[in-house]
Amino acid sequence: MKYSKVKAVIMFMAVGMSIFFSGCGDTKTAKNNSSEENAAAAGIYNGKVTLGATTWIGYAPLHLALEKGFFKDEGIDMDIRVIESAGDLKMAAKAGQIQGMAQTIDTEVMAKSSGLDINSVLPLCNSNGGDGIVAKKGYNTLADLKGKSIALDTTGGASLFWFNTMLDEQGLSMKDFDIKNMTAGDAGSAFVGGNVEAAVTWEPWLSKANATTFGKTLVSSKQYPGVIVDALAINSDFAKQYPKTIQGIIRAWLRAVQYAKDNPDDAIPIMAKSQNLTPEEFKAQLPNIEYFDKDMTNNYLLNGKMAEVAQKASDLWIKMKLTTNPIKGTDLVSDSYYKAAISNE
How far is residue 200's CA from residue 184's CA, in Å, rounded to a whole number? 7
Is residue 247 within 8 Å of 122, Cβ to Cβ?
no
Q: In 10 A of CB 180, how many CB atoms?
A: 18
Compute the distance between CA of residue 325 and CA of residue 198 in angstroms, rounded to an integer.
Answer: 32
Rounded (10°) CA dihedral 67, 255, 251, 303:
-140
Q: Mean of the pLDDT values across residues 324-332? A: 96
* Cβ–Cβ under 8 Å, residues 217 and 206: yes
Which of the four CATH numbers 3.40.190.10, 1.10.10.10, 3.40.390.10, 1.10.3720.10 does domain 131-223 have?
3.40.190.10
* Confidence label for 13 from pLDDT (cuts 50, 70 and 90): very low
Q: Is the pLDDT of residue 59 over 70?
A: yes
Separation of alpha carbons 151 and 190, rounded Å? 7
Residue bearing the bigger pLDDT, 221 or 32: 221
Higher pLDDT, 85 or 163: 163
21 — pLDDT class (breaks 50, 70, 90): very low
pLDDT band at 42 (very low <50, low <70, confident <90, very high): confident
CA gap 45, 223 in Å, rounded: 41
pLDDT band at 263 (very low <50, low <70, confident <90, very high): very high
Which pLDDT score is estimated for 50? 98
Closest CA to 152 of 144, 137, 142: 142
Residue 3 has pLDDT above 90, yes or no: no
Cβ burial, residue 313 (10 Å; 0-12/13-18/19+): buried
8 Å CB contact between 71 and 213:
no
Q: What is the pLDDT of residue 92?
A: 96
The model's pTM: 0.86
**Residue 271 contacts residue 282 (beta carbons within 8 Å):** yes
CATH of 48-127+228-343, one of 3.40.190.10, 3.40.50.720, 3.40.50.10860, 3.30.2130.10: 3.40.190.10
Domain boundaries, the chain: 48-127+228-343, 131-223
Query: CB within 8 A of 195, min separation 6: which ones?
Result: 151
344 neighbors 244 (Cβ within 8 angstroms): no
Same fold, 48-127+228-343 and 131-223: yes
- In the chain, the largest separation of any two C-alpha atoms, in whole Å, equals 112
Average pLDDT of the residues of the chain: 90
Asked if residues 105 and 231 have their Cβ atoms less than 8 Å apart, the reply is yes
What pLDDT digit, counting tens, does each position of 107-122 carry? 999 999 999 999 999 9
The 10s digit of each residue's pLDDT in 206-225 is 999 999 999 999 999 999 99
**Rounded-to-integer distance, Cα 175 and Cα 161, Å:** 15
